[in-house]
């Protein structure tokens, strides 16, 4: 018990080993869908030389290393893995929209992680967070949810190109479209019934249904983890001083900070870690664990690693110490050897999870004061432009510009923080430059 207390903050008078282990397994079951979804999203880059099977291994390794760090350093019951939304920004904005290589994007993630480590060790992180309006923080989370859901609809061909209206409804009666609809119904029922691991179970059931439909093809269950050699430490440094790199790094950092902050506060409240004055013991170590996970994940070859809100499932099962996180990390270690199962799952089976997770991320929108138009117009633009422009960064940047403009024109200049003024000016300059030249990668 002395070892458990020193390593994980385990108190035998307050905690039980069995409860902590079960809580860790519960957390794993609720977030293990990322092992199927992340490679599915990165599959869009396979033509650019980024092997999907390598991404699976990188995803599992990033999750287990980061969660182990959380267990021993922060001693909190939080699970970590490559974040939803951040992976979409990596693939669909940085690589497929801006035209940069995935090596360049990994470099941006690595730099962002280093900056996050520095900010976590200082008060700069708190200063930046406090400078951004709450309404925009809430809008960013909700907008990313819409973006993720739209990607799910697109990947499953439920939403398709339309020459007249840009987008339209796809074939929902045959093939991948039909399988996605079936999967969405199954996953929705499981989530409504509060079945632990409902999203993962929904993915697996949908994939199995896809076998007789000729969409799913399993080629085994257990194997050695695919090699990460093709994507390990594949950084590209020659464009790191470009304006686009600055924007990309900032966007990764911005999303990561707010996503982690919101998740940690929310799960900590459920666990009873938040004190009366609003502080959380050891929160700097939580952020440091998150930042270390991002750097390690970039080295392995995947997008930003972040703390998962699904950790609340483990907390709900009684997890309160690092032993819960340790158990979750052990589960990810075992999952490494089930690559054939996760890699065989088609995008039609993972699409429902994207749609449902996107829905779950909409909750912060309820905190926006919609009748206060100075706040709600920028927030709405932030949310709307992410899916419509197919870019998380454009939603954030234009939303922040709109916020400054709305408050300035309504005579509330004093309420605009100096940080927001600086950022708005930089972002306006960014768009002027962007539409005046063609980035070198395009």
Of 215-229, 247-261, 363-377, minimum mean pLDDT range: 247-261
More confident: 303 or 342: 303
| pLDDT for position 439 | 46
Instruction: Output the six-digit token pair for 61.
Output: 């390794």
**Would you call 363 exposed, middle or buried from its count of C-beta atoms within 10 A (0-12, 13-18, 19+)?**
middle
Position 442 confidence tier, pLDDT thresholds 50, 70, 90: very low
Average pLDDT in the chain: 88
Phi and psi, residue 167, nearest 5°: -130, 155
Rounded mean pLDDT, 104-115? 96
Q: Tens of pLDDT along 130-155?
A: 677 888 888 887 887 888 788 889 88
Note every long-range contact of 260-266, with CB atoms under 8 Å and residues 24 or more positions apart, other chains counting. Answer: 260/286, 260/287, 260/290, 260/306, 260/307, 261/129, 262/137, 262/141, 262/309, 262/364, 263/78, 263/306, 263/307, 263/308, 263/309, 263/311, 264/78, 264/307, 266/309, 266/312
pLDDT in tens, 56-66: 999 999 999 99
**pLDDT, tens only, 328-339:** 999 999 999 998
pLDDT of 407 over the 50 cut: yes
The residue with greater pLDDT, 439 or 88, is: 88
Q: If pLDDT is split at 50, 70 and 90, which confidence band does 181 have?
A: very high
Q: Where are the alpha helices (DSSP H) in 121-220?
A: 124-131, 134-155, 175-192, 198-209
123: confidence class by pLDDT, cuts 50, 70, 90: low
What's the mean pLDDT in 248-257? Answer: 83
Report which secondary-structure segment, H or E, holds 169. strand 166-169
- pTM recorded for the entire structure: 0.77
pLDDT-based confidence at residue 247 (cuts at 50, 70, 90) = confident
Residue, of 87 and 3, whose pLDDT is higher:
87
DSSP per-residue codes, 233-256: T----TTTTSHHHHHHHHHHHHHH
Share of the chain above pLDDT 70, in %: 95
State pLDDT tens for residues 338-396. 989 888 888 888 888 888 888 887 888 898 999 999 999 999 999 999 888 877 778 88
Give the pLDDT confidence score for residue 128 in this predicted structure: 67
Q: What is the pLDDT of residue 350?
A: 84
Least confident of 90-99, 356-365, 432-441: 432-441
- pLDDT above 60 for 243: yes
Is the pLDDT at 417 greater than 50, yes or no?
yes
8 A C-beta contact, residue 260 and residue 81 = no
* pLDDT higher than threshold 90 for residue 68: yes
At residue 180, the pLDDT reads: 95
Q: At what angle do helices 347-360 and 134-155 cross, to 10 degrees?
A: 160
Q: Residue 405, class by beta-carbon neighbours within 10 Å (0-12 exposed, 13-18 middle, 19+ buried)? A: middle
Higher pLDDT, 123 or 106: 106
50 vs 390, more confident: 50
Average pLDDT over residues 404-414: 94
Confidence of residue 441 (pLDDT cuts 50, 70, 90): very low
Residue 233 pLDDT greater than 80, yes or no: yes
The pLDDT score that the predictor gives to residue 64 is 96
Q: Lowest-pLDDT range, 65-79, 278-292, 428-442?
A: 428-442
Summarize pLDDT for 271-296 with one digit per residue, the tens.
888 777 656 778 888 889 999 999 99
């Amino acid at each position: 018990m002395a070892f458990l207390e020193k390593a994980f903050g385990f108190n035998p008078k307050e905690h039980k080993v069995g409860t902590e282990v079960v809580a860790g397994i519960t957390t794993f079951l609720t977030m293990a869908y990322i092992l199927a979804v992340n490679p599915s999203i990165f599959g869009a880059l396979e033509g650019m030389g980024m092997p999907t099977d390598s991404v699976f291994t990188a995803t599992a390794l990033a999750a287990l290393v980061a969660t182990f760090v959380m267990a021993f350093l922060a001693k909190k019951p939080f699970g970590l893995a490559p974040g939803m939304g951040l992976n979409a920004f990596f693939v669909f904005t940085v690589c497929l929209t801006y035209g940069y290589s995935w090596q360049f994007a990994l470099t941006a993630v690595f730099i962002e992680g280093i900056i996050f480590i520095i900010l976590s060790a200082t008060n700069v992180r708190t200063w930046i967070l406090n400078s951004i309006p709450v309404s925009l923080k809430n809008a960013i989370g909700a907008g990313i949810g819409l973006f993720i859901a739209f990607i799910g609809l697109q990947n499953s061909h439920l939403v398709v190109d339309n020459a007249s209206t840009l987008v339209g409804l796809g074939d929902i009666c045959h093939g991948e479209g039909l399988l996605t609809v079936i999967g969405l119904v199954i996953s929705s029922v499981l989530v409504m019934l509060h079945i632990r691991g409902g999203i993962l179970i929904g993915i697996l059931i949908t994939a199995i249904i896809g076998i007789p439909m000729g969409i799913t093809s399993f080629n085994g269950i257990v194997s050695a983890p695919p090699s990460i050699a093709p994507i390990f430490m594949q950084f590209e440094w020659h464009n790191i001083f470009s304006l686009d790199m600055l924007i990309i790094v900032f966007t990764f950092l911005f999303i990561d900070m707010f996503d982690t902050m919101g998740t940690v506060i929310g799960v900590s409240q459920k666990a009873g870690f938040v004190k009366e004055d609003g502080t959380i013991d050891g929160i700097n170590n939580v952020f440091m664990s998150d930042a270390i996970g991002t750097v390690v994940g970039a080295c392995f070859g995947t997008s930003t690693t972040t703390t998962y809100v699904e950790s609340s499932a483990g907390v709900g099962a009684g997890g309160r110490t690092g032993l819960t996180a340790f158990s979750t990390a052990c589960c990810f270690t075992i999952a490494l050897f089930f690559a054939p199962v996760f890699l065989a799952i088609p995008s039609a089976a993972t699409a429902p999870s994207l749609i449902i997770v996107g829905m779950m991320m909409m909750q912060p929108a309820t905190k926006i004061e919609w009748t206060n138009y100075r706040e709600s117009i920028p927030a709405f633009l932030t949310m709307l432009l992410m899916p419509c422009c197919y870019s998380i960064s454009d939603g954030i940047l234009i939303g922040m510009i709109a916020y400054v403009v709305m408050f300035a024109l309504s005579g509330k200049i004093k309420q605009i923080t100096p940080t927001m003024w600086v950022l708005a000016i930089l972002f306006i300059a960014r768009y002027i430059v962007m539409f005046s030249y063609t980035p070198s990668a395009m």
